[in-house]
Amino acid sequence: MREMYLKNEENFIHELEAFLVKARSVPDVLLEDFNKKFSLGISLEAELSPKTFEDKARQLRNTSALDFIQWWKAKMNHIRSDPLGSIFFGWKGKRNISVHRKVVRPDLKKITLVETIHLTESVTIRKYDEKGNLIEESKSPEIPPKPIEPKPAEINWFFSEYPNENVFEVSKKLLDVVKGFVEEAKSRFT
């Protein structure tokens, strides 16, 4: 699947953006779902912020809703403080994720060198007389070296905020973070 995306950059970027939008919406969707669950009555037409949720829960003296919003805020702070979480749920409503392509280059910590050495195998037999004069010489035929195909340049995708792992690995980790967030909310508050 990865190779498919690398061949079509435009589709890759489009689908990655869609994935990020959906992943970023999870905290807001949780607020909406638990607004309904706790019967807070906050209109879904209005912006549902954590403050609005908390104010309404206090007004209704709904301790379960207050427990939820305190957990939600702590969880969001924890996610934002993690380098991975800050990419997706960054401070100040950050919404513009910069994805760029770069050729993988070695750095001071990791250098990979490839060197090709051509070897040919042949045997030479020399026959000398008792005086040291060469009488006969025979050689086996040389085996020509096999042509070596150059390795193609490796291109990976990286988030500028998380440059040490490619987008595919980071996205898998994000999916785990989002999944854990939802599962923990469901197990604690349903």
Owning domain of residue 55 = 2-112+155-189
| Residue 149, domain member (yes or no) | no
pLDDT of residue 91: 42
pLDDT digit of tens for each residue in the chain (190 aa)?
445 445 566 777 778 878 888 888 889 899 999 999 999 999 988 788 999 999 999 999 999 999 999 999 999 999 888 888 777 665 444 433 344 444 443 333 334 455 555 566 777 878 888 888 888 888 877 777 677 777 666 667 777 777 788 888 888 898 899 999 999 999 999 8
Q: Is residue 124 part of a domain?
A: no
Q: pTM of whole model > 0.85?
A: no
Q: Is residue 128 part of a domain?
A: no
Domain count, the chain: 1
- 181: in domain: yes
Q: Is residue 148 part of a domain?
A: no
pLDDT at residue 183 in the model: 95
Per the domain annotation, does 56 fall within a domain? yes
Asked, for residue 168, whether it belongs to a domain, the answer is: yes
Residue 77 within a domain: yes
For the stretch 150-159, contacts whose Cβ atoms lie closer than 8 Å and that sit 24 or more positions apart, written own/partner, are 151/114, 153/103, 154/103, 154/104, 155/6, 155/101, 155/102, 155/103, 155/104, 156/101, 156/102, 156/104, 157/6, 157/12, 157/99, 157/100, 157/101, 158/99, 158/100, 158/102, 159/87, 159/97, 159/98, 159/99
